[in-house]
Copies of this chain bind each other. A is one copy, B any other.
Amino acid sequence: MIKAIVFDLDNTLVDFMAMKRQAIGAAIHAMIDAGLKLTREEVQLRIDKIYKDKGIEFQNVFDQLLYDEFQKVDYKILSAGVIAYRRAREAALVPYPHVYKTLMELVKMGLKLGVVSDAPAKEAWLRLSYLNFHHNFDHVVTFEDTGIRKPDPAPFVKILSLLNVKPHEALMIGDWAERDMVGAAKVGMKTVFARYGDTFGTVETNADYEVNDISELIDIVMNENKIRI
């Protein structure tokens, strides 16, 4: 009997990589407009390198870019980039199709909902708030809550404990096979691979289920719980 669904956040509930691409693209455009004397491609390469070095959650990517290039920060260019990034993010940070509808459906079916994200607490929660998700989930576990990332069992054990369900009573859905699927299976949860996400890692997922749309969760739960319409 499935009593809870645990979701990965980025690229499972929200298309994080698409948002990043759009927001960075808008920022590059605006910085060149504000006077940055580099081509779009040159800026993109430098930004990709900074994210590669410092991680995708690094918050001062434009400061770093300008400092590396000119040994000082031009605030006119920086601000143009930051504002364009913020505006594009506001527009681009949206859930995948059928996410809101599916979450509501699962709540109506009496299921508890959780999130397990490897993102830092502040960034994860800001994204949840942007999406008005912060009332939809019973519990959220971010990196700071356990200090260790998936596929380590700790974040999975933590969310199961908060949701007060046994491992076999919970489904884990995520887009990263080696982290979300492997980690959840290890603690005894059922697994659903989000094929529609920005899928990382191997194609071989060993998941119990694979979905191309998040709404397929409804049928999976009905099947698991032998609910007949």
How many of chain A's residues have a CB under 8 angstroms from any CB in B?
Answer: 23
The segment from A12-20, A80-88, A163-171, A187-195 that touches chain B is: A80-88
- A75, B121: Cβ atoms closer than 8 Å: yes
A86-B86, A134-B34 known; A122 vs B79 contact (CB < 8 Å) = yes
Binds B, one of A1-9, A104-112, A125-133, A148-156: A125-133
Interface string of A129-146 (1 = CB under 8 A from B): 110001100001010000
> Is there a chain B Cβ closer than 8 Å to A78's Cβ?
yes
Interface of A is mostly: helix
B79 touches A134 (CB 8 A): yes
Distance of A130 Cα from B135 Cα, bound (Å): 30
Task: Say yes or no for A90: interface residue by CB 8 A criterion.
Answer: yes
Contacts of A76 in B (CB 8 A): 125, 128-129, 134, 140
A-side residues, CB < 8 A to B, are: 34, 75-76, 78-80, 82-83, 86-87, 90, 121-122, 124-126, 128-130, 134-135, 140, 142
